[in-house]
Amino acid sequence: MRSVLEAIEVSRHFDVSRPVLQRMMSGEGRRTLRAVDRVSFDIPAGTTLSLVGESGCGKSTVARLAVGLYTPTEGEIRFEGHPLSSARAQPALRRKMNMIFQDPYASLNPRWRVRDIVAEPIRAFKILAGKADIADRVTQLLTQVGLSGADGEKFPHEFSGGQRQRISIARALSSEPEFLVCDEPTSALDVSVQAQILNLMRDLQQNLGLTYLFISHNLSVVRHMSDRLGVMYLGRIVEQGPGEDIFRTPRHPYTRLLLDAIPDVSMVGRSRMPVSGEVPSPISPPPGCTFHPRCPLANARCRVEKPEPTRVGGVLVVCHAVEEGRG
């Protein structure tokens, strides 16, 4: 199957050093935050890869790398076989990728009417020229996401959060993309609205053949959306494979702990092991396996040696315990 997006050993580092004079006075060196560390994945056309993990694990940085808002410090991202930098320089390829942001309140210009917000990519990429044609297309897009053409005359503040996210989706679709990065698109919404937006996104994917990179910290949401799943911890993907395989048989200790945290009536009376402790600082991560301070299976090797991916069936796992068969 054709790969739409491929990440090859991608890392992204940020210089978080204090100003030069302060460093000279205190005698400290530069400080580097390793937000993403050697991440690799590919997303076949028409499928969804979801990345999950706690806050600060680097999943939103991956989202921004995937659409070119950040450039990799190391590694390469390819879009439809082209390096991402060159793909973004070509309007015909650039219009094929878009992003749905987390906060529908902040991602829409409050001074523009909805019709202008949705029409902006159409004009920018010169997809249509005539005012009547653009207006018809805007009406079609709003109807496609469950709104009406008359809503185009309103301003964003006149809508609820769920309706604003529908407007954001309509705007993302207006450039006729093939690939969408969805950065926690339902986390700012009420639970009652989340399912509606997720169902809309699934329907759009089936009807339009869209490919998604879906970012979330909510495993229940991810299970509803994913073909493949990547579990991130402190900048690395520690487990990656078919979504149902990982949900049915989680192998990495961190994945197991995350799944134990999902509310489940069938788990009443059974012992659970919630995730304990805090995520270490990505500025000074622990040696060896970065999860070892919180891992119930950690041994001496985990504390000094960084694990490499191990294939178990169709799943890649980055864990010494799984590799040694003591997981």
Length of the chain: 327
CB of 230 closer than 8 Å to CB of 51: yes
pLDDT at 280: 84
Alpha carbons 307 and 132: distance in angstroms, whole number = 59
The domain defined by 3-96+177-324 carries CATH number 3.20.20.100: no
Tens digit of pLDDT per residue, the chain (327 long)?
Answer: 789 999 999 999 998 888 877 878 887 888 889 999 999 999 999 999 999 988 888 999 999 999 999 999 999 999 999 999 998 889 889 999 999 988 888 889 999 999 999 999 999 999 998 999 999 999 999 999 999 999 999 999 999 989 999 999 999 999 999 999 999 888 878 888 888 999 999 999 999 999 999 999 888 788 888 999 999 999 999 999 999 999 999 999 999 888 877 655 444 445 556 566 677 888 888 999 999 998 988 899 999 999 999 999 889 999 999 998 876
Residue 59, H or E segment: helix 59-66
* Total-model pTM: 0.90
Can you give the residue ranges of every domain in the chain?
3-96+177-324, 107-176
Residue 100, H or E segment: strand 97-100
Residue 212, H or E segment: strand 211-216
Between helix 161-173 and helix 191-208 the angle, nearest 10°, is 20
CA angle (254 as vertex; 311, 218 as ends), nearest 5:
105
pLDDT at 274: 59
pLDDT at 111: 94
